[in-house]
Structure 1
Amino acid sequence: MTQVLGFLATNPLLALVLIMAVGLALGKVRIFGLSLGAAAVLFVAIALSTANPEITVPPLLFQMGLAMFVYAIGLSAGERFFAEFKDRGWKLNLFLILLLMALVALAWGLVTIFHLKHTTGAGMFAGALSSTPGMAAIVSMVRGTTPELAAEPVIGYSLAYPGGVLGAILVAAIGAKVFKVDHRADARKEGLLPGPLLTQGIRIRPGLSGTLGELSQLTGVQIIATRIVKDEKHHELAEPSDPIRPGEVIVINGTRENIDCASEILGEQVDVEIDGTDLLYQRFTVSSSAVAGHAIKDLNTTSRGFLISRLRRGDSDVVPSQDAVLNYSDRVLVVAPEHMMDRIRGFLGDSERRLAEVDLLSFALGLTLGLLVGAIPIPLPGGNVLNLGFGGGPIVVGLILGALQRSGPIQWQLPYHANRTISTLGLVLFLAGVGTTAGAGFRSALTDPESLKFIAVGFIITVASALVCGLAGRWILHLTWDESMGVAAGMTTNPAIISYLNGQTGTELATRGYATVYPSAMIGKIIACQVLLILLT
């Protein structure tokens, strides 16, 4: 065994791939209905490097992994992040700031009560909240002292980091069982997992006015008119500019709940035969660079002879608004005459091969901007300087570019599957690399009882943070449990935790909470770690 460990220490690439393979395999194992997912890679890396601390992964690799992961998260969450900030995002970020202040006070009290070394205790606080930039900021504050003192924050960080991951995961798993969380029902209630979409004929009641494009505003629910029924065999496209005509029969698309709500306002439901008419439904995949990144209203589809009645992104099928922006790999259901279908296919692209040829130039440009933003020095009182680093800069830029969608000819968004693949690869690279940095600290903890204090205190801070997020999220902020745990994961800014949550829930609720608070948490923890060290010294 010693020879195998020595061989891996001299072959870091082989060690990296082995850690990834074993970790991903163990992550699929379910115990009591739970699995770690990609987070298992972290624990495999810690175990292997504890057995031989010389097994390491070059920092450049896991730094790149983290940058790729958070940038991809930012791209996918950017549009929703800015759309929701004015309604609920500011509340979550204010809550996060108050929680950070409370955690600093808790850490100061625990370090004082247990008579822990101040510099090691500050590093432990960074590890408990999984803040690598925070730990680096502490190291920069004590730089210029003895080498032993400068190493203490790193030791504290490495001791608390694994518990910082495991504690949050345990709170999420146990809380889901205690509160009997129905992940899919919660996501459906929040509009992130809509029910099946149906078509329904409606005979417009007298007294209504406006246009067919205003039906959602008129009824208060998301529906879309797709057809105007002339007779059993002849239907016309329902253009958004067409007026609402009392007595006319239209066909609308929506969930059963939305259709029933809309019919109470619009008129009676009637049976309409769709098959055999002169309009067809057909699915196409968006792969054209001329379409991706544009809102449906800007594409003026009715002038091209078709309407988009449904939009499928990932596993969610929704009725799109005219403001909805189409992305690469979106599957759209169009309504059009049969003879127009080939022309529509050419316009939208509908090419799997084109989607496989991912534009890595835009990805590289965006990631470069993110890393440059992360390198910008931000002066603090007392002569200290912080920066967002390779984790904070890319997600901030990713959120902005994800909301912009495109800049002139540059399409920032990635195809759905490419985004998921890149983010997962980046995640496991980061987990494998950062896990190997904790081995030496864990090895010493096995022989030094004092180290167990740092592990225990760090675990308490982690659990307290996750519990407050979960309970306050449910009872004060009125969030679902999954989104509350997404906020807890965002507080830690730890990819392993959000990866676990996404794997367990199978919805986007946790990601919504994670992306909403991640940028503020990244910056806030850097400041909090430095404030704690100042308070302790």
Structure 2
Amino acid sequence: MPETLSVLLQQNPAIALFLALTAGYAFGRVRFGPIQLGGVCGTLLAALLIGNFVEVQPAAGIKSLFFALFIFALGYAGGPQFFANLNAKGLRLGLLCAVEVAAVLALVMGATWLFGLDQGTAAGLMAGAATESAVVGTASDAVSKLPLAPDLIQKLQANVVTAYSITYVFGLIAIVIATSQLFPLLLKINLRKDAEALLQQMGGLNNDDDGADLQAAPEVVGRIYRIDAAAGKQVADIEAGVDGKASIERVRRHGKLIDATPELVLLQGDAVLLTGQRDSVLACSHLLGPEVAHVAGLDFAVEIEDIVFNRRDLANRALGELRREFRRTGISDGVHLLEIRRLGEPLPLLPDLRLQPGDVVRLQGSPRDIARVSAHIGQRIDKSDETDFTYAGLGIVLGILVGALGIKIGGVNFSLGTGGGALLSGLLFGWFQALRPGVGHIPASAIELMKDLGLAMFIACVGLSSGPQAMALVKSYGIALPITGVLIALVPATLSLLLGRFILKLDSPVLLGAIAGQQCSTPALSAVVNAAGNTTPLLGYTITYAISNIVLPLMGPLIIFLAGQIVVH
């Protein structure tokens, strides 16, 4: 590297950090078949490369700041679903996460004993093979608290990120290929046919609407008809004929608008505005009369609102059951369901889908009608992009303080550390905000920025300082780390496959989605969804992802402790 550039980076570590971020995210977008490394892994590789040519030491405070931001945001984003899944169904699928954690711990400890790995390399092996980047942060934080010389601590932290960078690539490739291609072959199933059968069994069709406000062919439409065949029928009769998937919003009679009450009898020549799902509205044409283009005051403004579902008394009830109840009581009149998202992922709108606190329900209708429905299911999500830094700051401060507390067991000090404390705080603050959306608003985009930027910058800080030692670790273990990483990725997944198929009796799309979730692997989920042809794998993914994304990072300090016992003995 030219001397002038080296001096520039040494004198301005911020340039090196953002250079690693820029190059890393650009490289992370490159797709190799179904494999995409992502920005975090790309940033780490770029930081290691830069650090290998020039000695750059970002201030320790910068690393701690970004780590605290990331780990709090991680807990905050997963809090609602984590607590919502503490039920019979969630704990049932949580067995797969237990298999993941137990098997990974056992395999990493076995590799530590077999190859004589130090604590940093062992933790990095776990983080990479399990494709859980957060473990890098919690393990590095745990290493910083060991009673060791500063240079040895720096070496162990360097080994964490180097081992992670080596094994992550191989672990990611292994789990993507296994879940989408290898496991369906082992089960002797046609994943696409199974997914289609499950979709039909649950009584629904895929919701392909992306929820955008403007579409060429929107899912929910409004049409105006002149009453002919429907003369003499009540509004309720027409709506019942399409199972409530379309509703008469307005009626014009002799040039005047009248209320479209369920008991209203339609007369010959009335003009009605019918809104609802496109297929249901079109199916009503032969029931009502000819369609007309003249609006003449029948049109009205509709809005699309996101409501966070927080009614625990309605939780885990089937969507179809709730819709029938709301239609019977008139709560949902004039309101149409567009989408349900869980952990940011759109779920198939199936009658058997069970709502959970923290689910985001997207509705379309008049402001008055949406207000009526939201009063029964939750609260509107604040659409502003303003972050309540009082709420966020309080959560991070409390997390760091809790992490600093410790107890001594057998002469050894145990504490949650910054990672565990901020993660716990984030869980509680995110869960509470989902129940009370009016308190402490932090936009979803802000949370994503805190997660992505926090982890990427933390990884870049550690990678820059670890560059010179990276090659030494590679030379020490050769191909042992990549091969071990593949085994640690595949063994727990295979055990979960057998458990889910033959004991839990899970449907194959749900099972494969759950395995991708226990591995916290979004690329694996994408591959499974593509192979399945619909989004039914999400029904398993969201539960295991919520649990593993919280539990696996807590294993970082445990790995450091257990590996230390093996090294000592």
**What amino acid sits opposite 1:387 in the alignment?**
S
Query: Aligned to 1:388, which of 413, 416, 426?
Result: 416
TM-score (norm 1): 0.66
User: 1:420 is matched with which residue?
Assistant: 448
Query: Aligned to 2:394, which of 365, 382, 389?
Result: 365
> Separation in 1 of the partners of 2:529 and 2:441?
25
User: 2:553 is matched with which residue?
Assistant: 522
Residues 84-483 of structure 1: matches in 2 within 5 Å? 84-114=85-115, 116=116, 119=119, 122-123=122-123, 125=125, 128=128, 131-132=135-136, 133-134=138-139, 136-137=141-142, 140=145, 143=147, 153-154=156-157, 156-175=159-178, 178=181, 194-196=207-209, 197-198=219-220, 227=248, 236=259, 270=287, 276=295, 280=299, 282-284=301-303, 308-310=335-337, 316=346, 332-335=363-366, 355-377=384-406, 379=407, 381-405=409-433, 411-445=439-473, 449-452=475-478, 455-456=481-482, 459-460=485-486, 462-464=488-490, 467-468=493-494, 471=497, 475=501, 478=507, 479-483=510-514
Aligned CA distance change for structure 1 residues 255 and 424 (closer, same or farther; 3 Å): farther
Tell me the SS of whatever aligns to 2:365: strand
> Separation in 2 of the partners of 1:155 and 1:108?
19
Note if contact 2:401-2:421 (Cα within 8 Å) is conserved in structure 1.
yes
Name which of structure 1's ranges 8-17 and 65-74 shifts more when overlaid on structure 2.
65-74
> Separation in 2 of the partners of 1:103 and 1:304?
49
Aligned CA distance change for structure 1 residues 224 and 7 (closer, same or farther; 3 Å): same
How far 1:5 sits from its partner (Å)? 3.2
Aligned CA distance change for structure 1 residues 437 and 388 (closer, same or farther; 3 Å): farther
> Separation in 2 of the partners of 1:294 and 1:123?
37
> Separation in 2 of the partners of 1:337 and 1:95?
44
Give % identity: 20
**What amino acid sits opposite 1:17 in the alignment?**
F
Note if contact 1:71-1:397 (Cα within 8 Å) is conserved in structure 2.
yes
Aligned CA distance change for structure 1 residues 117 and 169 (closer, same or farther; 3 Å): closer
Aligned CA distance change for structure 1 residues 280 and 96 (closer, same or farther; 3 Å): same
Note if contact 2:403-2:422 (Cα within 8 Å) is conserved in structure 1.
yes
Deviations 1:461-516 (A, max 9, x none): 54346644774586466535344223212xxxxxxx65896799798945653322
User: 1:493 is matched with which residue?
Assistant: none
Note if contact 2:245-2:276 (Cα within 8 Å) is conserved in structure 1.
yes
**What amino acid sits opposite 2:336 in the alignment?**
S
User: 2:48 is matched with which residue?
Assistant: 46
> Separation in 2 of the partners of 1:422 and 1:431?
14
**What amino acid sits opposite 1:9 in the alignment?**
Q
Aligned CA distance change for structure 1 residues 135 and 161 (closer, same or farther; 3 Å): same
Note if contact 1:107-1:125 (Cα within 8 Å) is conserved in structure 2.
yes
Deviations 1:366-410 (A, max 9, x none): 333333343343x36423333334433334333333333368795
Aligned CA distance change for structure 1 residues 350 and 279 (closer, same or farther; 3 Å): farther
> Separation in 2 of the partners of 1:412 and 1:467?
38
Deviations 1:185-211 (A, max 9, x none): 89x95999734555799x9xxxxx9xx
Note if contact 2:119-2:560 (Cα within 8 Å) is conserved in structure 1.
no
How far 1:162 sits from its partner (Å)? 0.8
Aligned CA distance change for structure 1 residues 103 and 425 (closer, same or farther; 3 Å): closer
Deviations 1:272-315 (A, max 9, x none): 8798597656443669xxx98987999x9x99999543356778
Note if contact 1:27-1:38 (Cα within 8 Å) is conserved in structure 2.
yes
Name which of structure 1's ranges 2-11 and 399-408 shifts more when overlaid on structure 2.
399-408
Tell me the SS of whatever aligns to 2:84: helix
TM-score (norm 2): 0.63
> Separation in 2 of the partners of 1:337 and 1:104?
54
> Separation in 1 of the partners of 2:489 and 2:345?
32
Deviations 1:104-156 (A, max 9, x none): 33334334444x25656645555555534345546656x26x77776664454
**What amino acid sits opposite 2:18 in the alignment?**
V
Aligned CA distance change for structure 1 residues 161 and 110 (closer, same or farther; 3 Å): same
**What amino acid sits opposite 1:43 in the alignment?**
L
User: 1:37 is matched with which residue?
Assistant: 38
**What amino acid sits opposite 2:89 in the alignment?**
R
How far 1:65 sits from its partner (Å)? 3.0
Note if contact 2:75-2:424 (Cα within 8 Å) is conserved in structure 1.
yes
Note if contact 1:134-1:530 (Cα within 8 Å) is conserved in structure 2.
no
Tell me the SS of whatever aligns to 1:411: coil
Name which of structure 1's ranges 362-371 and 274-283 shifts more when overlaid on structure 2.
274-283
User: 1:488 is matched with which residue?
Assistant: 519
Tell me the SS of whatever aligns to 2:36: coil
How far 1:91 sits from its partner (Å)? 3.2
> Separation in 2 of the partners of 1:68 and 1:75?
10
Note if contact 2:158-2:462 (Cα within 8 Å) is conserved in structure 1.
no
Aligned CA distance change for structure 1 residues 117 and 521 (closer, same or farther; 3 Å): closer
How far 1:12 sits from its partner (Å)? 0.6
**What amino acid sits opposite 2:52 in the alignment?**
T
> Separation in 2 of the partners of 1:43 and 1:152?
17
> Separation in 1 of the partners of 2:398 and 2:296?
52
User: 1:83 is matched with which residue?
Assistant: 84
Gaps of 5+ in 1: 204-208, 341-347, 490-496
